[in-house]
Amino acid sequence: MSIIVNLDVMMAKRKMSLNELSEKVGISLSNLSILKTGKAKAIRFSTLEAICQVLVCQPGDILEYREFGISMK
């Protein structure tokens, strides 16, 4: 997959647990876990917006495009 989910990186930077983020964003722990592990097939913009509000970040801080396994950051 070319889209890499860096949610765990942002959570670590903000010192926030998966449980805490789940409660603050208002999505289930299982759905957030699926997103965090990169197994999600899609994400709603409203969910992405809520995550960015809670983590005080940009969508690009959470989602990254990699071509041929090379990091663009």
Count of structural domains within the chain? 1
**Residue 19: which CATH number?**
1.10.260.40
| DSSP-assigned letters across all residues of the chain | --EEE-HHHHHHHTT--HHHHHHHHT--HHHHHHHHTT--S---HHHHHHHHHHHT--HHHHEEE-BTTB---
Residue 29 within a domain: yes
What is the C-alpha R_g of the chain?
12
Q: What single letter denotes the amino acid at residue 64? A: E
Q: Decide if 71 is inside a domain.
A: no
Confidence bin at 66 (pLDDT 50/70/90): confident
What does the pLDDT read at residue 67? 82
The percent of residues above 70 in pLDDT, for the chain, comes to: 90
Name the pLDDT band for 1 (thresholds 50, 70, 90). Answer: low
pLDDT for position 70? 57
Look up the domain containing 40 and give its range: 3-65
Q: Which pLDDT value is given to residue 68?
A: 65
